[in-house]
Structure 1
């Protein structure tokens, strides 16, 4: 379960901003339906990020995915660059701080780095420091202190600790690896295949997923999965394989035809990943990222998706979606579920929560947003555009 995420110097976000799923103080609306009650902190089940074209709302999701890449892949050598995507391709450090809950433990992971080395990094679990580092000192769990000399300056300590079997570091690593799903973003293909492996291993789950998709009026008759062994030129058994996934559709004459998973529409991929996240009873706490929510899904599917996450969701899964669609504000949402992104005069993205404006009436928030009070709306001058066209 994501609590909050703070970052700076990623794409159009130059200055430090914080996106939070933690419930706003004093808000009681839809508490039963739209929030997850936890022993230490309560969080909303879904959040929607509004903004005009090129405002930077997609970059918030990309920032989270960049942190995920940093954590999961580490570096192979001293000369490997750490992945960055800085504002205006500048040389300032990139900063991330994220809080989440996994297995009833609260993790706080912080990393500041540049392309060449990690400046600062720490992992705190339930208020206790598991490890920390800066450019001069490293504090490691006792079980790996003897390996300190093997830690490269461009290697995230979280990656290093989990690869050396530090249990709590492995749990944090697993959250990044297994609990974040982003079927609408470019980095999603390999992650989706990992999730789809469950269809191959669990026939009952596949039946449940197919039933779910048919109920949403997707023309998918079957999902075929096949594990294909990767050939090894040295004839060494590495036990590596890739999962081939095809969806079978019914044609005009009752015949079936197959489409590979990657060739399916974004909406189909989103709902398939959603079904996997919701229908696996032991699969709690997934974080679903959907870019261009309104573009990817039919309005009726948007409605049902909101019901799934806000009303029927008992798995502690969460949804973060970017959108242009003002009508989403007509749904049963709380102000702490609504965010706005806009660029200032210098092209720097700024992030605001509707909760910050102390407007507790959603209808008033929608009107103010349409009027440009919060920024993040597309302000189009049709008269000016007409003048330009007529002058050509």
Structure 2
């Protein structure tokens, strides 16, 4: 009887270990699938999904585990992002997060101390705010340059074109204020004039006062620290009001959304800074891999910067999962991410270490053509 009980116990233990060995790896994402930032959020989620689908289909997952990608909509609302993050943190199956969106949204998670007692990591946040980078935030691994670096690249470029007078249009929140401070520093460094600081309220497209202030200031260049909907409205109203200046948006404004509101004529010549590789031309192996995954797992969906970014986030996370042991934990994933060191993501260099969580400072400048497409 005792032998039978012992055999049953061993059989049960073996079954449990076998089940654990083949348990899914759960990664989670809170993103704005709806609302004013829905286009960007859906792109980030889709980009991650296609890479996880690729790994599951071609490699059987990671170390024998299927990767399960759980996505919850936050609608770009801070309280929803907080609620989703709390649920993910409370779920022991979730070993990492990826592709969170929004300066205010992500900042609030740390204001509330949600990550104080967990080694859960976030791979890729769609924000370039300095306060999430300095001092080093142990929970976040950044794949994109900061807003400081984006704005500085724009100001450096337009200074070379002869610009002397710059206006900034910014959202009245920490995201917008971060962009404004970056512009102030970049302008001061080059002895240029910041002739207007025009703001608008968050979660609106009411930019009438901002348009009036900028037109009256007669700038050579306008920098839009804005997400897509208010940026689109500003461009449309600025041209209607007779505004004449170079217009530049940050990577937070995407051409796909802008073109739904603004005519090709008004969009032509708009500059947009970018923080991931140009997704429309396979000049890097990374981009060729991304395009192949899009054709296979999201057939018919156009390429975009947001899907490119989501794809890259997932690819780096999978690299860490492969190093994190047969049964990855939150702690082993964090350790693996910090141990990646200098890596080459298909021609795109990244570098992570225990003292450096900012993997890239890459900034590219693109311009909208007369057909509404982006050119480098």
TM-score (normalizing by structure 2): 0.25
Q: Greater share of helix residues, 1 or 2?
A: 2
Q: Which has the higher strand share?
A: 1
| TM-score, reference length from structure 1 | 0.24
